[in-house]
Structure 1
């Protein structure tokens, strides 16, 4: 699956149409965020997570989405199940994101 770029106005409908979601919050100036992009794209194509929708949200331009997940550092990752935010972590380690994703399976 491809990573989908989402804005504040699209978030609610995207979450209601997908039961398992992971969101990466980033900013254009964030070097760690850019470095994580290839890893995130690879995870989105990983068979273990084929039933998970992968979203990207620019935290600077989407304050409502950032607030819903309680994002204070970047990159941050949130998991959402059936429209409910379950957990948010701040990390640039792939293993930590995989651990978070496994909580959805």
Structure 2
């Protein structure tokens, strides 16, 4: 499955009735850039086929950022049917996998 770029105007509609992981990033964030190919690879992992992978530019979308309380980048949030399950700032793939497994 592809990683879908969302913004403040379509963010909430992308969460309804779905299991979602959201990656928050900024263009200037080196760790965010390094994690991008890992996130794309995880989105294609069969173990997570029922989960949608979204990405949000945290600097350009303040409402989406506030929704989960982004405090550092990269920041990942898992959302189940519009409700935040967990959110954390990390650049460790193992931690993101654990978040996905809890959601799955």
* Normalised-by-shorter TM-score class: over 0.9
Q: Could you say which residue in structure 2 is the equivalent of 1:83?
A: 82
Q: Deviations over 1:8-27 (max 9, x none)?
A: 110111111x5100000000
Shift of 1:56: 0.4
Number of paired residues? 104
RMSD: 0.7
- Report the TM-score when normalising by structure 2: 0.98
Structure-2 separation of matches of 1:86 and 1:63: 20
Mapped to 2, the partners of 1:12 and 1:69 lie a distance apart of 12
Give unmatched runs, 5+ long, in structure 1. none
Equivalent residue, structure 2, for 1:40: 39
* CA distance in 2 between partners of 1:12 and 1:29 (Å): 25
Long gaps (5+) in structure 2: none
Q: Aligned residue for 1:53? A: 52
The superposition leaves residues 56-92 of structure 1 with CA deviations (integer Å, 9 ceiling, x where unpaired) of 0000000001001100100000000011011101100
Q: Normalising by structure 1, what TM-score?
A: 0.97
Corresponding residue of 2:11: 11
